[in-house]
Structure 1
C-alpha cells in the first residue's frame, strides 16, 4: 500500500513547473526587540502564535499588495522631517507579524529589503552589509534552526551570481535585488509545492497520526480535503503549549474526522494508524530531523510496527548540522506547567525539541522533491556549495 517510490510520484505529478530554487544562478543594529521572556527561547515563544486560519499564500500576497497600495497613496515626507533609519530587525518583525509567514521567510524578506535600502557603493560593501544583517537576524534567536538556515541559504543564493562580475555596480545591485525577491517568492510557495507532491501518499480510508501543530502539514491535509479524499487524523495534544489542540480545531473545521490523543497514547493507537506525518524545525545533514519534543519516540514506535514516517519540510529548513545525540544541539527551552507546585529540589526538563535519526524516517516531502533520508546530504551540498 505504501510501497510507491519517490520517482513514481514525481513523474506522475510532472512537477517540472516547480524547479529547484537553487539550481540556476541568474546591520548590524542592536537588538531592540528582545525576547519578552528571556528565560525562554524566542523559538518556543513564537511557535504557537502562528497558525493558519485560511489560505496562507493568498493572505501573504493580499497583505503585501495592500501595503504597496497604501504606501503609494502616502504623501512625500515633508522637508526637514526625520526619516527613521532602516533596521533589519524592524523589517523582520514587520514580516513576522503576518500570521502565516514562517520566521525563516520573514528573515528572507528582511534581507531582501537590506539590499533595496543599502547605500553601499561597491559589491564588497554590500556583501559586508548583508553579512552583518544576516548575523543580526541569526543572533535574534540562536536556537531557531530554520531562521539560521534561511539566512545562510539566502546569502548563498543571492551572492552566487554573475552579477558580482558586472563592472556596473548599479546593474549588479539590481540583479541582487531581483534574486533576493525571487528567493523570497520561492520560499513563500514552498508549502503549496509540498502539498502537491504529497497527495499520492494520502489514500482514501487511511488514518494519519500527526504530532503538534505544523503549518505545512495543515496545508497538505487541506489540499487532500479539496481533492475529496476521505481520511481520519489522530492528533496528539502537543503539550505543554497545546499546539495539537489548535491543529485539531483547524482540521475539524475542514470536516476531517479527528481523534485527539494525549501525547503518551501514541504507542497505544499505532496499530490503527496507516502513516505518521510530521513537520520539522530543521532537517540536518544526516537526513534526520529536529522537531517538537516527542517526535523521536513516535518515530521509534512507528518503525517498530512497520508504519511509514513521512516528514514535510521546506528546503529553507535544511541546515548544516550533524547532531550525534539528543544533547548535541542548541537547547530551546519551554515553560512547563504541571498544574501542581513542583518541589524546589526537583529538576524539570525544559527542552522543547528532540532529534529523530534518519533510520526511523521513511521519506521527506520537500519543495525540492520527495527525498529519502540518505540523499539529504547530497541536497545540502547543492544548496550550500
Structure 2
C-alpha cells in the first residue's frame, strides 16, 4: 500500500474523456483494492476511507470525487455475499466495482432519452460551460430530429418542410474563468447545430430568447440543489425571474450526501477567494501625464507597473457554485425525472440500505 499512489492513479484515469470525476474516483479505489494487503473487511474499509481522504485533500475541487468515493464505500459496506473467504470476497468486490463503472458509462444515454422529449421544434436552449451529458443529449436530439425531418421531407411535396432539418438552436455561455463553454460551442457547431456563444454577463440580455435552460452538474446534493461550474447559480436566478424552466442533468453517481446552506459551505470553498490583496503602496501615479489612454498603465511609487491578468482573476474566484433547489424545475437522471425533493428522497433511500 505504501507504494500505491492513489492520486496519480486518479489523475491517469481522468485522462479518459469519457470518465467524470466520480467514476475516476471509483476506479482509483478499485485499483487500490487490487493492491491492498488487507486481511479483513474492517482493514479494507479503513484503507478505502483513508484513500478517499487522500484524494479529497489533493484535489482543489473534491465535490465530485467525494460523491463517487462515498457511493463506492457504501456499496462495499452493504454488498451481499456468500463468499467462503475474504480473498474471494475482495476479488468479487473488485469485479463489481469495475462492472459498475463500465455500466455507468451508459447512464448519459439514458438521461439523453429522458430529456429528448423536452426539446421541441424551434426550441432555443441555454447551456453553461461543458457537460458530457448535456452534449450527448443535444447531439442525440439533433440526430433524431434531422433524420425525422429528412424522412418527412422525402414524403412531402412541401419544399420548405423538407428543408427543415435543424429544429433547435443553442446559446452557450463562455463560462469563465476556464472558458469551457467555447469547447461546447465548437463541438455543437461541428455537429451542425446552430450555436452562439454568449458572454457570462449577457445571460439576462439573452434570456427572453430562450425557451429553457439545460444544465450539467458536478454534484446534486441532499437538498436537491446543484453544484456546478461557477455562474450556474446566477443563470438559475435569471431563469426563475424570467419564468423559464431550469433543467439539470446528472448521473446518479453524482448524487452526494451534502447539505450546503450557502456558497461558503461547499468543501471547495477557499477563504482566500474574493479577497482584497494588499497593495505595494498606498499611493499610485499614472505612468504618463495628461489624460490616460488605453495604452497607459498605472505605476506604483517604486516604478513597477500594476497589471491584473486573467490568471490573477481566476485565482481569486471560485470554480463552482451552489444552486438552490427552489430554482430547479427538474433533475433528469438515469433513475428517472426527479423533482429536487425527489432527489432528497432517493438519496435517503439509497444510503439507508
Band the TM-score falls in, shorter-chain normalisation:
0.7 to 0.9
TM-score (norm 2): 0.78
Look up the match of 2:222.
Answer: 285
| Structure with greater Cα Rg | 2
The alignment status of 1:112 with 2:30, answered yes or no, reads yes
Runs of at least 5 residues in structure 1 that lack an aligned partner in the other structure: 1-26, 30-84
Residues 325-340 of structure 1 aligned to structure 2 (within 5 Å): 325-332=262-269
The alignment status of 1:307 with 2:244, answered yes or no, reads yes
Per-residue deviation at 1:251? 0.5
Look up the match of 1:221.
Answer: 138
Q: Provide the C-alpha distance between the structure 2 equivalents of 1:268 and 1:300, rounded to a whole number of angstroms.
A: 13
Residues 182-261 of structure 1 aligned to structure 2 (within 5 Å): 182-228=99-145, 230-261=167-198
Look up the match of 2:201.
Answer: 264
Look up the match of 1:12.
Answer: none
Per-residue deviation at 1:123? 2.6
User: Aligned match of 1:341 in 297, 307, 312?
Assistant: 307
Where has structure 1 moved over 4 Å in runs of 4 or more?
332-335, 346-349
Per-residue deviation at 1:217? 0.9
Per-residue CA deviations over 1:128-177 (Å, capped at 9, x if unaligned) read 222222222222216321101100101111231222x6442233223212
Per-residue CA deviations over 1:58-111 (Å, capped at 9, x if unaligned) read xxxxxxxxxxxxxxxxxxxxxxxxxxx433233222212223321221111111
Conserved in 1, the CA contact under 8 Å of 2:60 and 2:268? no
Look up the match of 1:316.
Answer: 253
Q: Provide the C-alpha distance between the structure 2 equivalents of 1:314 and 1:115, rounded to a whole number of angstroms.
A: 24
Residues 1-385 of structure 1 aligned to structure 2 (within 5 Å): 85-141=3-59, 143-163=61-81, 166-228=83-145, 230-332=167-269, 341-342=307-308, 349-385=316-352
Per-residue deviation at 1:381? 1.2
Q: Provide the C-alpha distance between the structure 2 equivalents of 1:349 and 1:126, rounded to a whole number of angstroms.
A: 39
TM-score (norm 1): 0.71
Per-residue deviation at 1:248? 0.6
Per-residue CA deviations over 1:215-249 (Å, capped at 9, x if unaligned) read 21111111112212521001111122221111111
Per-residue deviation at 1:290? 1.4
- Secondary structure of the 1:146 match is helix
Q: In the superposition, relative to structure 1, how do residues 266 and 142 fare at CA in structure 2: closer, same or farther (>3 Å)?
A: closer
Conserved in 2, the CA contact under 8 Å of 1:145 and 1:317? no
Q: Provide the C-alpha distance between the structure 1 equivalents of 2:202 and 2:182, rounded to a whole number of angstroms.
A: 15
Per-residue deviation at 1:332? 4.9
94-103 or 241-250, which deviates more: 94-103
Q: In the superposition, relative to structure 1, how do residues 240 and 125 fare at CA in structure 2: closer, same or farther (>3 Å)?
A: closer
Structural RMSD (CA): 2.6
Per-residue deviation at 1:291? 1.4
Q: Provide the C-alpha distance between the structure 2 equivalents of 1:112 and 1:221, rounded to a whole number of angstroms.
A: 32
Conserved in 2, the CA contact under 8 Å of 1:157 and 1:183? no
Q: Provide the C-alpha distance between the structure 2 equivalents of 1:282 and 1:220, rounded to a whole number of angstroms.
A: 18
Q: Provide the C-alpha distance between the structure 2 equivalents of 1:277 and 1:233, rounded to a whole number of angstroms.
A: 10
Look up the match of 1:79.
Answer: none
